[in-house]
Every structure is written in structure tokens, then in C-alpha cells.
Amino acid sequence: MSLAKPYESPVPDRRWKTRKFVADYGVYIALVILLLVGAVLTPKLYSVDTIAVVMRQASQLGIVAIGQTMVLLVAGLDLSVGGIFIMTSVVVAEVGNGRNEMVIPAIATAMALGGLVGLGNGLLVTKRRVPPFVATLGMLVLVKGATQAYTRGVPGGFVPDVLGIVNRSWSFLSVPLILWFGLSAIFIFILRGTSYGRKVYAVGSNIEAARLSGIPVDAIRISVYILGSLFAVVSGVVLTGYVLYVDRFIGSGLDLDSIAAAVVGGTAFVGGRGGLLGTIAGVLIIQILSTMVVLLGLDVEVQFIIKGLVILGAVTLYSVANVES
Amino acid sequence: MSEFILEMRNISKSFAGVQALKDVSIRCRPGLVYGLVGENGAGKSTLMKILAGAYSADAGEITYKGERRDQASTAEIIASGISIIYQELALVGQMSVAENIFLGREPRHALGILNLPELHARSAVLLKRLGIELDLDLPVSELTIAQQQLVEIAKALSQHADLIVMDEPSAILAGSELDQLFEIIQNLVEQGVTIIYISHRLEEVFRIADEVTVLKDGELVATRPIGELDRATLVEYMVGRPLDEVFPQTEHEQGELVLAAKDLATDTILDGVSLELYAGEILGIAGMVGSGRTELARALFGADPLTGGSIELVDKGASAWGSPAQAIGAGLVLAPEDRKAHGLFTTLSVRINVSIPILSTLTRLGVLKRRAEDQVVREAQERLSIVMSSPDQETQFLSGGNQQKVVLAKWLSTDPAVIILDEPTRGVDVGAKFEIYRLMRQLNDRGIAIVMISSELPEIIGMSDRIMVMNDGRVAGELTRDEAGEARIIELATLGAAEAGQS
């Protein structure tokens, strides 16, 4: 016995196709438009030096944004990355203390501590059901406080010179850029082509359905928070290598920018939708906008206003495309 | 003034080239109940949204209370006496019953201070008019869904509604709650209120409506007084072809024992429930909402912890699973009652939804084998006739029936021995409903045992080989198909085993 043909009229395709188009390509269209506007308003944007600067800054933001995107995909949020940048800087300087042979142990220590922060975030969110905003905000304050208490406000130690390797570049190509694109490629594959990636999306899309589908939802969420922190450590190492000294304010602004980049790139705040391809474009948009403001000789405050408008515009666009019947 | 309170004439509406409504006309006399039926996507909601002012019609005109109505805001429409009660109730959980009824229109003193005594007095009058009793100070979140719906109706009355549209009100109600709703509707109608009642459930339309309008594919099929219709005709109008048999039957011998559960107890409500399930049969579980049906399903599936009792999947030798993951592994799956909340990943594609429980068989070292997955999805689509434009279409854009098929496809991909279906046809249109019934029989033929929980008694009686009736977390009785009648089931479900036995 076979089932009869369905009686329903065919589903109108247009709506989901429009949505999918906006979701998949909208941010890239926006990026192209921005580049065209840049060609007219700020032709300097296309000088080799400017591109190199934009790409280096984009890489610093882009690496932490990979983790942030994954956290957002499971309907989470990680505000603690700002604390991890500072902690990484301090740990690299203290443990490394100017000795090049200690750079690997120093990074390993930062990774381990970062992993613990991520584990803490994950446990608070899953086992204690603390809302991600509150849990990671608390963790941010805790990590910053602990770092300050440890350094007594005056960070000591020296960043090993060898970390300057992250400044190495070959015209447009630089170590941070390779790291950013490499890690992005790996995690794009993981999210799209592995069972882990599918589970990440499933947990973010509908946590109860995921649980009832046999997915270990808590383990997935904890692992994503740990990844988020580890990416923040990598970003922190790149930032530290760039300035080559301990900086109490290192990476300030990158925390919220990483969220903005993911959201502009189409990753939904409520989880289960979006991805890293969009985030890459989101990162570029935010970085190019900031650079254009500087090239135009406008005040830095204007940067924030424009950034704010872009985020609001993107979110509005996605929400319009997302209206359910 | 004309004899009609509402006339919608030749209404057409299209969305981005898709004709949602074509030349549809309805008219309503005061004080009658109008049934509006049709499958999902037939245009019922679009028509009502045009009435509510949420959409504007491309063509056609609306005359309300004798006056031609042009484009109006939602607020103006509510003020003119039209209220729409949607399935998703629009109440503020933390606020009290009285506050919800007058939300945004609270009686105030001169300085804008809330006049609480007045608020209470007016709310009490409204509830009295409805003939119901509710604690006015209770936060709405403490009420049952059925009671919340009554608050919505009271709210409509507080806005002096002369025309109330109820969009699938029964989707969230069961048994006695429905009777209460019908009493209230009767009550309102006697007071001259006009009701437009949208429903999938034909039994209700026959019980409550004076006249029925059927829409199909955006067009008006028929408007008839209820007395001129019978069930078969109505189904034929809705589906567009005659249906010889509503519930497909197969003859089969009782199979082997598949599942044995003894004395199940949970800290929710279950209190010593035992059941046996045989290969190739459908065990129907009836009972009121809150009788423990859904809790039983969740307990069997390992979704809620057991505080007592044992479960055994006989031929697999599996017993005592503590999580859905283990239950799935053992061959027992659950398609939950609330499809969107618990069953479906609406932001994800059909492909991801279907393959999620069998990822381990579709991957090597965690990497997906795309071709194998395509194969699984294609087979599922063919087997269940899922209407979709691509496997990458997000499931939120599918109709209710197709969403349910995706949930079923997901579980069938695991090749289970036992499937628990909690309200498998809720919110599903008639056509898809029959497809699901046929599919259940197909699964039986393959030896799969089905536990079906349902609030629709015709469905329970028509499909089940055996029927277990629950009451207050216990088994009130078990009936064979021949013994079961609606009256007997309701008696057991409402009175419980002991009292029903005495009566």
C-alpha cells in the first residue's frame, strides 16, 4: 500500500527562498556595496598599507568572532571574552617573562585558564540555568578582578619577543590573517559537515527537541562555551604579540564587536540560525567601516554611531526576512 | 440596517503572486454561529486577518453593521465590536485575571490611578455574563489553558464585541473544557453575539455551527446550513474528493509482546501505571488533558525520571533507560504533543531534521556522509509524501501536516520497534490526517507497535486495537475496540475506574 498523493497545494517557495537568499548572501551584498562606496568616498582604502591594516585588525576580531558565533548558535552569549584578552596578555607576560623558550608553556597556560573560564560559563548556563548574559557578565568581572588582584594593578613580566612572529606578513597576507582564515575554514567545515556541527545547530534551534532527539544538550553547550573562550585566548595571543607588552586594556571593544560581527553576519541572537561565512563578512564590514571613518577624518565617536546604525539595520533586515506566516 | 451584521463581498488577496483568496464572500446574521472550515492554507486565516485589519484586501468590500468599512486600524476595528481570539493567547502571565481583561483600558481615577474596585466589579460582571467562576486576583499564568481562553473571551466582551472570531479554539482544549466553551458560545449567541468558529474538527462544527463555509485553495467551495450537511459531504468539500473510508483498517493477529511496563510512577502525576504492547498493534490512550497521558509518554521515553516501576523492551532485552538517547538506541521513540516546541527544529532544514537522530550511522569519524544522508532524506520524502520544495527548506515554511510528517520521518529513520505518538493529528489538515492514519497502518504491517495518545475520541476509537483510559495518573480501564464507545471512554476518563464501575 502506498500513500496517496498529497492534497495540499504546493508550498509557495518565494518566502523561504527570499529569506534564504537574504540570510546567505545579504551580508555579502552589503559588503560589496560598502566597498563600492569606499572606492568613491575613501579611495585610500584600496592602498596596500590600508588593506594590510584592515586585514590585521579584522583577523584579531575575526578569530574571537568564530567562538562568539558558535556561542550565539546555541542561543548563548559570551561577554567574558574581554576579560580573557587581558588575562591572556598578563599570563603570557608573567609565564613567558621575556624568555622565548617559555612562549609555548605561556600560551598553554593561557589556554588552560581560558578553557576553565569557558567551562565555568558552560556549567553556570547548563547546570545552574543562569541566563548566558548574566553568567558571562559575572565571569567577565571575575576574570578581570582576578587578573587585577594577581597583578596588583601593575602588570609585571615581559612578553617574549618571539611572539612578534604574529606581525610577520607577506604583502596582504599576515600570520593573523592565515590563522583567521584557517580556523574559519576548519570551523565552517565542522559546523556544516560534521555530526557535532549539526548538534550545535539543533541545540540552538530547539533545545527541548534536541534533548528529545537524544542529543547531549548540556555537553554540547559546555563545549561551545569552552571553544568560545579558547578562541578569545587565540585572539588575545595575537593582540599581545602585536603590541608586545602587557596591556590592561588590551582588546577593549572587541568583545562587543565580536557579537556585532556575528549578528551583522546573520547569526540569530535566539540561536540555531546563521554561521561563520556570514560572520567573516560581518567582521569585514565592521572593520572597513571603522577604517573609512578614520580615513574621512571624522571623530571616533562617529565610528560608534555608524556601527550602531549598521547593527540595527542588519537586525531589522533579518527580522523582516524572517517573519513567519 | 441590513439583516446581516457582516458582509464580506468578493474578497481577493494575493501575496507576492500567490493567490491566497479569490473572490470569497461570506455574510453573517447576528446571533448565529458560523463555522469556517478548510485545510491549512485554504485561506481561513487570511480572510480573518483581513477582517481584523491585519491585511488589506486587494479587491472586494466589507460591510459591517450596515456601513461600508474602508481600511481601518486594528484599534478602530476592535472599537467597532470585532474581536478575534487567536490560538496563541495574548495574555500577560504575571498579571491578574481582572487586569488582563481590561489590559490597556483599565478604569482609572481622575489622576490616572488604577481604580481597583471598579476593575473588579466590571470584571465580575463580565465573568457572570459568561457564566464562569474565576479568581479575579489570580495571575493568569496560574490558570489552565482552558481558563486562559475564557479570560480572552471575557476580554472580547469587555470590548463590547458583537462579532467574535475564534481561531481553532479547541486545539488547546479537551473533553469537558470543550463542553464548557460550547456552553459559553451558546450563552453569547443568545445575547445576540455573532461567532465565527474556525476549526479542523468537523465534529465540533456539527455540534456548534448554524451555517458552515468551506474554503479550499483560497476559493469558496460552499456555504450551507448545517442541517443540509453530513460528515462525508463536508470532508469531500474540504479535500476536494470523496473519502471512502476515514479510518483504514487492517486485519491482523496479535503479535509478540514488545514492551512491558509495570507500576510506573513519577513525581509528576503517574501513580502505578502498567501496560503491555504487542507487535503490530495500536494502543490508544485516552483521558482528559492532565490525566497523565503525556507524562506516561515522557516516562516511557526516558524524558522524565521514574520514581518507581520498570520498563522492558522484550525482544531487545533492553530495560531501564534513563534518557531519550538510550530509549532511541533501544528502539523506542516519541513524537511529542507540542510539535513546534518539542519535536521540530523550525529554523533548520528538512534534511537536518530528518537525519538528526541517526547522525552516528551517517558519519565516519564525525564527518557526515552526504550521499548517505541524501538517500535517507529522499526515501523519507517519498515514503511520507512530504510536500517541500527542497530538502534544504526550513521546516517553519511547511504546513502543519508536512511538519508532522517530518517529525515522523525523523523517527522512522531510526527503525524503531515502538513509536509513541502524542496527538499525532493535532493542527493537521484533513488530507494529511488520513495520510498519517494510513502510514500508521503501514507501520503496523511492518510489525511496529504504536502507542497513540489522542483527545479526539473518533480517532481513538477508529484507529486503536485496544484503548487504555487514564484518569488522575492511573489506568482507569482498558477496552477492546468492540467495547469502546465514546460514552464509555468519557465515563472512565472523568470518573476513574472505581466510580465508573459502580455506576
Q: Which of A32, A53, A33, A57 is nearest to A44 (CA)?
A: A53
Rounded to 5°, angle at Cα A179 from A174 and A181 = 95
Residue of A143, A170, A307 whose CA lies nearest to A236 = A143
Confirm if B247 and B462 have CB atoms less than 8 A apart. Answer: yes
Q: What is the pLDDT of residues B380-391, one digit of tens each?
A: 999 888 888 889
* B50, B181: one domain: yes
> How would you list the strands of the sheet with B271-278, edge to edge?
B271-278, B257-265, B308-313, B318-319
How many angstroms separate the CA atoms of A23 and A321, rounded? 8
Q: Name which residue leads in pLDDT, A122 or B246.
A: A122
CA angle B350, B419, B445 (to 5 degrees): 100
pLDDT at A21: 76
Bigger pLDDT: B155 or B203? Answer: B155
Residues in chain A: 325
The amino acid at B234: L
The reported pLDDT for the residue numbered A324 is 43
3-class SS of residue B272: strand
Length of chain B: 503
B 434-473: CB under 8 A from A: 434-435, 438-439, 441-442, 445
What CATH number did the domain enclosing B193 receive?
Answer: 3.40.50.300
What's the gap in Å between the CA of B71 and the closest CA on chain A?
Answer: 21
Is the pLDDT at B476 greater than 50? The verdict is yes
Strand partners, B194: B163
Secondary structure of B363-415 as H, E, C letters: EECCEECHHHHHHHHHHHHHHHCCCCCCCCCEHHHCCHHHHHHHHHHHHHCCC
Distances (CA, A) of B67 to B70, B433, B500: 9, 41, 55
Question: Residue B139: left (phi > 0), alpha (psi -120 to 50), or beta?
Answer: beta
What distance separates the 2 farthest-apart alpha carbons in chain A? Answer: 79
Contact A277, A80 (CB under 8 A): no
How many Cβ atoms from other residues are within 10 Å of residue A105's Cβ?
12
**8 Å CB contact of A11 and B387:** yes
Cβ distance of B341 and A193 shorter than 8 Å: no
Q: What is the ipTM of this complex?
A: 0.84
Domain boundary among B239, B265, B296: B239
**Number of CB atoms found within 10 A of residue B124's CB:** 14
pLDDT at B481: 79
Cβ distance B347 to A8 less than 8 Å, yes or no, reads no
pLDDT over 70 at B241, yes or no: no
The pLDDT value recorded for residue B174 is 64
| Same domain, residue pair B295 and B213 | no
Q: Has residue B165 been placed in a domain? A: yes
Q: Is B192 within the bounds of a domain?
A: yes
A8 closest CB neighbour out of B345, B362, B401: B401
Task: Report CA Rg, chain A.
Answer: 21
B208 and B33 Cβ atoms separated by less than 8 Å: yes
User: Rounded distance, CA B5 to CA B194, Å?
Assistant: 8
Q: How far is A68 from chain B (nearest CA, A)?
A: 19
Task: Classify residue B231: in a domain, yes or no.
Answer: yes
* B239, B267, B282 - which closes a domain: B239
CB contacts < 8 A (A, B):
147
- Distance from the B496 Cα atom to the nearest Cα atom in chain A, whole angstroms: 31
Looking at per-residue confidence, does B432 or B82 come out higher? B82
Q: Is B355 on the interface with A (CB under 8 A)?
A: yes
User: Which stretches of chain A score pLDDT less than 70?
Assistant: 1-16, 19, 321-325
pLDDT score of A5: 35
Which residue of chain B has the CA closest to A209? B342
Chain A residues in contact with B15 by the CB 8 A cut-off are 12
User: CB-based contact (8 Å) between A49 and chain B?
Assistant: no
pLDDT at A267: 92
Higher pLDDT, B8 or B425: B8
Residue A260 CA: distances (Å) to CA of A253, B57, B170, B348: 11, 39, 43, 23
B27 is in which domain, residue-wise?
6-239
CA dist., res. B127 & res. B123, Å (int): 6
**Please, which pLDDT band fits residue B1 given cuts at 50, 70 and 90?**
low
Which of B245, B383, B397 would you mutate first to test chain A, the one with the most A CBs within 10 A? B397
Does B339 map to a domain? yes
Domain assignment present for B23: yes
- B52 — contact with chain A (CB < 8 Å)? no
What pLDDT score was predicted for residue B147?
Answer: 85
Collect contacts of A309-317 with beta carbons under 8 A, ≥24 apart.
A310/A264, A310/A285, A310/A286, A311/A260, A311/A263, A311/A264, A314/A27, A314/A30, A314/A263, A314/A264, A314/A266, A314/A282, A315/A263, A317/A22, A317/A26
Q: What is the mean pLDDT of residues B402-419?
A: 92
Q: Which of A20, A22, A24, A206 to mutate to test the interface with B (most CBs of B within 10 A)?
A: A206
Are residues B178 and B325 part of one domain?
no
pLDDT for residue A9: 38
* A215/B contact by beta carbon, under 8 A: yes
Q: What is the pLDDT of residue B489?
A: 83
Q: CB-based contact (8 Å) between A10 and chain B?
A: yes
Closest-CA distance of chain A to residue B165, Å: 19
* Residue from A17, A187, A205 whose CB has the most chain B CBs within 10 Å, to mutate: A205
* Nearest residue to A290 via CA among A53, A39, A49: A53
CA separation for the pair A123, A154 (Å, rounded): 31
Q: Are residues B273 and B205 in the same domain?
A: no
The whole-angstrom separation of Cα A298 and Cα A79 is 29
Judge: A209–B360 Cβ closer than 8 Å, yes or no. no
Domain for residue B372, yes or no? Answer: no
Closest-CA residue to A140 (of A115, A121, A112, A166): A121
Using alpha carbons, select from B285, B278, B296, B318 the residue that is nearest to residue B449.
B278
Residue type at A47 in one-letter notation: S
Between the alpha carbon of residue A221 and those of residues A143, A169, A217, A227, the distances in Å are 21, 36, 6, 10
Query: A258, A243 in Cβ contact below 8 A?
Result: no
- Average pLDDT of the residues in B169-180: 74
Q: Which of A:253-312 have CB within 8 Å of B?
A: 268, 272-273
Question: pLDDT tens for residues B438-467?
Answer: 889 889 988 999 999 998 777 888 889 999
The total domain count for chain B is 2
Distance CA B349, CA A272 (A): 11
Q: Is residue B32 domain-shared with residue B75, that is, in the same domain? A: yes
Distance from the Cα of B307 to chain A's closest Cα (Å) equals 20
Determine contact: B391 vs chain A, CB below 8 A: no
From chain A, the residues in CB contact with B394 under 8 A are 16, 19-20
**Chain B neighbors of A11, CB-CB under 8 A:** 387-389, 393, 397-399, 402
Q: Where are chain A's structural domains?
A: 37-318
Q: Are the Cβ atoms of A195 and B399 closer than 8 angstroms? A: no
CATH match for A37-318 among 1.10.3470, 3.30.70, 1.10.8, 1.10.287: 1.10.3470
B317 at A interface, C-beta within 8 A: no
Q: Do A1 and B41 touch (CB under 8 A)?
A: no
What is the average pLDDT across B258-280?
A: 91
Tell me the H-state helices in B170-322.
175-190, 202-208, 231-239, 293-301
